Amino acid sequence: MDLLGLTIPTWALDWSGSAMVAISLWFLWHKRQGYWHWSNASLVPYFALFLTTGQFMLAGLQVSYLIFGIHGLLLWRLERLRRQDGRQFAQRSWYAAGWIISLSIFLYTVSVTSFSDSWTWLEFAIVSASLLANMATTRTWLWSWYLWIMVNIAQAVYFSHLRLWGQFALQFVLGAMSIEGARRWRLERERGAILAGPLEAMSEALPRKAP
């Protein structure tokens, strides 16, 4: 990839994005806002990587992730304000807006993709499952971790085919971290930390304003 006269090798985009995603999951374990920052930062090298390699659905997925990332940051802020000051917001409208934009991007990238072989259909399945998993992560639903594990398995196969070894290696790290994340969230729920629904659990994880 050429950027302002500077040639950036594919492996640099591959490995830099992978490192940022791994860091983001540590914050997600603890439901901290750093998850959104690191996750959003990883989208820059990933978007460039998939665009230059012709993986248009995966490139479009990065844009959808960015929408979810901004949406998640704002949603967590609204939840904090509701917890601190009792301010209400239109939850249903917030979720609907993110989904409409993301699905529009997804449908566009599908329309410009040629489904000429089984690998393209695997990419389609990965992107579809990733969108669903990301939505569930935004709402802090426990089953999102298990869906991510399935995505990691499929992506390991797909990225080995593309010879993107940073992404390939990352799937094993993410799979292990997803197993640990599911364990942590399950134990948290069993301890009674998640009782009033996913949004309330998210607000509990946010810092409170000092008195």
How confident is the model over 74-99, as pLDDT tens digits?
A: 777 777 777 777 667 666 776 677 67
| Residue 177, domain member (yes or no) | yes
What's the structural domain count of the chain? 1
- What tokens appear for 125 in the block? 């399945």
Q: Which pTM value belongs to this model? A: 0.65
Please, what is the end-to-end C-alpha distance for the chain in angstroms?
51
131 within a domain of the structure (yes/no): yes
Residue 53 burial (C-beta neighbours within 10 Å; 0-12, 13-18, 19+): middle
Bridge partners for 2 per DSSP: 7
- For the record, the structure tokens of 43 come out as 């989208």
Q: Which residue has the tokens 């990065």?
A: 62
**pLDDT at residue 151, as a whole number:** 92
Is residue 116 assigned to a domain?
A: yes
- What is the C-alpha separation between 10 and 22, in angstroms, rounded? 19
Residue 164 lies in a domain: yes
Question: Is 148 inside a domain boundary?
Answer: yes
DSSP 197: -
Token digits of residue 89: 């917001």
Give per-residue pLDDT as tens, 6-17. Answer: 678 888 888 888
For residue 159, what are the domain limits?
A: 2-205
Q: Map residue 7 onto helix, strand or coil.
A: strand
211 belongs to a structural domain: no
What is the reported pLDDT for 130?
A: 83
Residue 210 lies in a domain: no
In tens, the pLDDT along 101-150 reads 667 767 777 776 777 788 888 888 888 888 788 777 777 788 889 999 99
